Amino acid sequence: MTKVHQHLVSAARLAGLTGWRRLAVAALAGVVSVLALPPIHVVPVLFVTLPMVLWLLDGAATRRAAFAVGWAFGFGFFVAGLYWIGNALLVDAARFGWMIPFAVGGLSAALAVYVGLVTLAVQWLDPRRGWPRVMVFAAAWTLGEMLRGWALTGFPWNPIGTVWMPLDAMIQSVAWVGVYGLGLLTVAVAAMPAVLGWDRATWRAPVAALAVLAGVAVAGAARLPDGPLEVVDGVRLRLVQPNIPQVLKWSPERRAENLYRHIDMSRLPAEDGLAPTHVIWGETALPFALDGTEDGGTQDRVRQVVAEALGDTGTAVLTGVVRTTPAGQQPYQVWNSLVAIDATGSLRAHYDKAHLVPFGEYVPLRSVLPLDKITPGATDFSRGDGPTTIDLPGLPPASPLICYEVIFPAAVVDADNRPAWILNVTNDGWYGVSSGPYQHLATTRLRAVEEGLPLVRVANTGVSAIIDPYGRILSEVGLDRAGVADGPLPVALPATPFARSGLLLPLALTGFVGLLGLASRRNRPHVMK
């Protein structure tokens, strides 16, 4: 039996599955697809699993069945890709451990709805089998990812375009069409082997798809510079990653020790002999709230001690901290913030996180949900004003982002006041040694390429790194390690097409691909050969 005949038989068998067997195979395909995501990156699995979705869809006679195929695939995909969320609930297992099945399973079930809508759309639009059907599937998938990144505050985690992170040349395309455009190409190419299960006569569409993929890689390689990067004069950054276990981070007995751990690491001699001008600590690195919960004397002492971390040549410490309203002021509010403290101990700038994590930093529908937020403290965090550009002492203007604010494409900088770099402070210590911190790093690198801006990422633990505007890591401290990373700040590139137009280009490309598939949907009846 030839390989083409084997494809035909495989497609027919998958289309013939019914009931729980069809859903089980779809869910298994979703689980296996996660092998393509960070940090494993076995991309070829998608060339098997995505065609399987289309073949399973062939056997779905009703819209409900079509939706169920996509939902089952999505459920397997998200459970396997987001399992690490359970680690955050184990930090205080006595209070939150019981939530793991609901958090991982419930979130995955909800996110799977978007994939169910993809397969429902393909069946409802009824494109012709062959490359048109693949094009419609890719377009619907991309629109589903965009919707997932926006609806109900959005959760664009693990977009399919992140599978290419090991290849610097491939990810350069996001400077034009963003991660959603790269995902569109990924699904279109990886699902194209489905054509061989419908038509034994044509190899042209899969070969053409691979040729487009190769062209994108060649264009990306041409974009990468050969020579050294231009850097900002007079700026030397030190990224401090103390690797404090999350269970000890807020322990009252460990507050002073945790603070001095940061300070001691900040004052370590540089390996290259170049003293840092700016020291950067991670999210909520200061173990004391500023502006209200501690007495003024304590806050002054903390600021002075932090200033000592700069030594004789430093300009400022940039650190995450909890800010509160001054004592006695109503209403009482709490913010997850980033502040700049100069060598005199003065606060020079601050930014308040705007895109908060549901159930982590606030409880949605608190009046009806009898739940506590996972982070310490009984008060929900308040929202800041959103992407902004701030001036920091001795540095070019920056766009500060805290934790997962960095995962939202086209929502990481103030478009009216373009910064010269992006600063992302985070704490991936909640997720332990898992795929979560690597997935977080991957999407962070894509923001740098999309915006054409260098990005500095500093974590309590995770992966702290200086990333250039091409998404390449220049220096780093790895996951579950304590250490510092020193390096210059690269100069920004001119605004990329994506930075200027946002989601318009990927939306236009998605619409073109979908219409291309629909243009010939009635040219031939749907008959298995």
Annotated catalytic sites, by residue? 283, 353, 403
The angle at the Cα of 389, spanning 384 to 391, to the nearest 5 degrees, equals: 110
Are 322 and 289 in contact, with CB atoms under 8 Å apart? yes
Q: Are strands 464-467 and 473-477 parallel, antiparallel or unpaired?
A: antiparallel
| Residue 2 CB neighbours (<10 A) | 8
By CB atoms closer than 10 A (0-12, 13-18, 19+), residue 59 is middle
Q: Which two tokens stand for residue 363?
A: 């409880």
Local structure of residue 102 (DSSP, 8 states): I
Written as one letter, the residue type at 503 is L
The rounded distance, in Å, linking the Cα atoms of 364 and 376 is: 17
CB neighbourhood size of 142 (10 A):
30
Task: Find residue 323's DSSP bridge partners.
Answer: 290, 335
Using the structure block, give the residue that is written with the tokens 């997932």. Answer: 148
Q: What is the CA radius of gyration of the chain?
A: 25
Residues 6+ apart with CB under 8 A from 69: 22, 23, 26, 53, 56, 57, 60, 116, 119
Give the C-alpha distances (Å, rounded to integers) separating 219 from 173, 301, 450, 502: 8, 54, 15, 21
Question: What is the spatial distance between Cα 351 and Cα 359, in angstroms, rounded to a whole number?
Answer: 21
Concatenated DSSP letters of 302-321: HHHHHHHTTTTT--EEEEEE
End-to-end CA distance of the chain: 15
Residues 6+ apart with CB under 8 A from 453: 399, 413, 419, 420, 421, 422, 469, 492, 493
DSSP state of 522: T
280 φ, ψ to 5°? Answer: -125, 125
Number of residues written out for the chain: 529
Q: Report the alpha-carbon distance of residue 174 to residue 448 in Å, rounded.
A: 10
Distance (Å, rounded) from C-alpha 351 to C-alpha 340?
Answer: 9
